Amino acid sequence: MRVWTLLGLLALVAGTAAAQQQRLIYDDDCSLDVDCVATLPILHALEDRGEVKILAMVADSADPFSAPVMRVFAKYGGHPKTVIGANQSDDPANPLCRKNTCNDSVWAEKLVARFDPGDTRAKFPDCVKVYRRALEKQPEHSVDVVATGFATCLNQLLASPADAISPLSGVELVKRKVKLLSVMGGRYPEGVEWNFECDAPGFHSLFAKWTRQDGFPPVYLNGFANGLNVLAGAPADALETVNPTRYGLRLAGTDQRPMWDMLSVLFAARGAAYRGTTYFTVGAPGTVEVDAATGADTWSAGVDSGHYVITNAASDQVLSALFDGYAHKSGFLAKEK
């Protein structure tokens, strides 16, 4: 009798822990900038801690090695079964993308060649199918989408019709299943930032559609200034022969990168505050607009479209200490177990 009672208690605890996990889809370019090699291990460490459940990852760049990089880090992080989708189109393909070489990478192909040779995006399912399958299975208003690259796959999702995966259109799936969209991009209240510039038509379209007035969940905007001085990288003693973060950073000629993307993940996983520490301040609701020709963004409070700008409440030092080493099962994990 006691054995069954104990087993039942353990099952209850496990079920409670699972219920507390934030369901999450991570959508990133992982192409020109090498910051994803520091972000991805942290994301998997968050899953190890039981804080998030990664439903899927999506590579939104047209670079053929972006999705394979995500697979390298899924395996490295101990989650080889992570579902990964790839943008199978040529978008972004506008003049600003070509000017910024947004689909090119000096490091991704070399990293994949070392850790998972022969892998390309052709071996991955289309990102829209991955989005649709992941969302279809989830409870209503339960999924946080973190978008830290281009708007390609999100726009393709919104344009998708009902199919064999789900009787709902992409718009209907998002409105029914997504709790919030956490976006890294823009300069607020106005300016030009790389992600938005590279996919200016895409973000113009996305934010024009994704509004509270049209029944979409809220958008939380993490701008360029937040992550500029929040830095992270591999531990000093990490070997590039076995540690893909160390190798990727070396290929890009650096030891650390700003953690713009990880701040959007942190907000989705933990909200503005967690265990007595306030990480972010959430501004008043308003509307962000992106110029389709230039990528310049403007945020205003005149109309409540459910678009919120978040700013750092914690210092750069506190946030850097949180991430640096956390990605590699030291530092942060040791402090917060």
Q: What angle do CA 184, 109, 98 make, to 5 degrees?
A: 55
CA atoms within 13 A on the CB side of 320: 13
Q: What is the mean pLDDT of the chain?
A: 91
Asked if pLDDT for residue 336 goes beyond 70, the answer is: no
Helix spans in 94-199 (H): 95-99, 108-115, 127-136, 152-158, 170-177, 194-198
pLDDT cut 90: percent of the chain above it: 88
Asked if pLDDT for residue 16 goes beyond 80, the answer is: no
Sketch the domain layout of the chain as residue ranges.
21-336
Which architecture, in CATH terms, is 21-336? Answer: Alpha-Beta Complex (3.90)
Task: Give the mean model confidence (pLDDT) for residues 151-179.
Answer: 98
If pLDDT is split at 50, 70 and 90, which confidence band does 237 have?
A: confident
pLDDT reported for residue 331: 41
**CB-based contacts of 277: which residues, under 8 Å, 6+ apart?**
314, 318
Rounded to 5 degrees, φ, ψ at 165 are -75, -45
Question: pLDDT tens, 58-110?
Answer: 999 999 999 999 999 999 999 999 999 999 999 999 999 999 999 999 999 99
Task: Give the mean model confidence (pLDDT) for residues 136-152.
Answer: 98
Amino acid at 72: V
> How large is the C-alpha radius of gyration of the chain?
19
Asked if pLDDT for residue 194 goes beyond 90, the answer is: yes
Q: Give the H/E segment covering residue 173.
A: helix 170-177
